[in-house]
Amino acid sequence: MSKLEIHQIPVLNDNYLYLFKDPDSDAVGIVDPAEAEPVLEKLKELGWTLTHIINTHHHWDHTGANLELKEKTGCIIVGNKHDSERIPGIDIQVEDGDLFEFGTQTAKIMAVSGHTIGHIAYWFENSETLFCGDTLFALGCGRLFEGTPAQMWESLSKIRTLPDETQIYCAHEYTEANADFAVTIEPDNKALLSRVKEIKQKRAQNIPTVPSTLGTEKETNPFLRPDSEHIKETLSMVGADPVSVFAEIRHRKDTF
């Protein structure tokens, strides 16, 4: 089976949309469309016809173009069954553990609340691809607008169990700012320091830092590492449980 063909589309100030196609069928999807015009332009350039919108959560910068794209292309909108009232134009309602068939590809639906209640991620195992919206970022995670630290840590723990080769397609280019914060939590993490240098070089040339791999995130992202004894020592939280450590890291980032 072929892997998804994925095109990254930058929109707004720092959002990324992902236009993706199953090479073995006519299925074409867009993840969390904030704006319609850039998507329509890319579709025209590639000669593709949009068949699906997949939404991770309801925020306007992830659903703002749902209805316009549906009107202009007749596409089907997929979103969380338990947040359907906040997903414009939703047609297919999915929930945790469901398998969403996309052409010849299959995505496992993962409930990953925390940033919002009802946030989901789409894991295309065959393509080693995770569309995770605003739950996990390169070197960061989403703010807890609706959920609790315990909910977010549970969600990140789910993601952490996926294969290290999984490509993390998050929705924002926040990596450089996240890197500046991460080194305050793990100033002696050699893998992190090396990654920060690479990130600075990329952003100086306006090169995207997304996607990253889950393996890299597990080594360097403090929000995936609250069970690290080194981090606990740095935060003077030796013996604390991961939820408490995660909550402290999130609090520090919120005020950084």
Tell me whether residue 227 is one of the annotated catalytic residues.
Answer: no
Task: Show Cβ contacts of residue 100 under 8 Å, excluding neighbours closer than 6 positions.
Answer: 54, 78, 92, 94, 106, 107, 108, 109, 122
138, with CB counted inside 10 A (0-12, 13-18, 19+), is: buried
Closest CA to 128 of 158, 97, 156, 162: 162
Q: Which of 22, 32, 83, 134 is catalytic?
A: 134
Give the integer Cα–Cα distance in Å for 200 and 139: 13
* Torsion-angle region of 45 (φ positive above 0: left; ψ -120 to 50: alpha; else: beta): alpha
Tell me whether residue 62 is one of the annotated catalytic residues.
Answer: yes
Q: Which of 52, 57, 58, 119 is catalytic?
A: 57
Tell me whether residue 251 is one of the annotated catalytic residues.
Answer: no
Tell me whether residue 172 is one of the annotated catalytic residues.
Answer: yes
As beta bridge partners, residue 213 has 167
Closest CA to 218 of 151, 155, 165: 165
Tell me whether residue 115 is one of the annotated catalytic residues.
Answer: yes
CB count in 10 Å sphere of residue 233: 10
Q: Which of 22, 52, 58, 62 is catalytic?
A: 62
User: Under a CB-based contact definition with an 8 Å cutoff, are residues 135 and 155 in contact?
Assistant: yes
DSSP-derived pairing of the beta strands 52-54 and 28-31: parallel
Tell me whether residue 52 is one of the annotated catalytic residues.
Answer: no
User: Under a CB-based contact definition with an 8 Å cutoff, are residues 173 and 210 in contact?
Assistant: yes
Q: Which of 52, 58, 119, 172 is catalytic?
A: 172
Tell me whether residue 26 is one of the annotated catalytic residues.
Answer: no
Q: Which of 22, 32, 58, 115 is catalytic?
A: 115
Annotated catalytic sites, by residue?
Answer: 57, 59, 61-62, 115, 134, 172
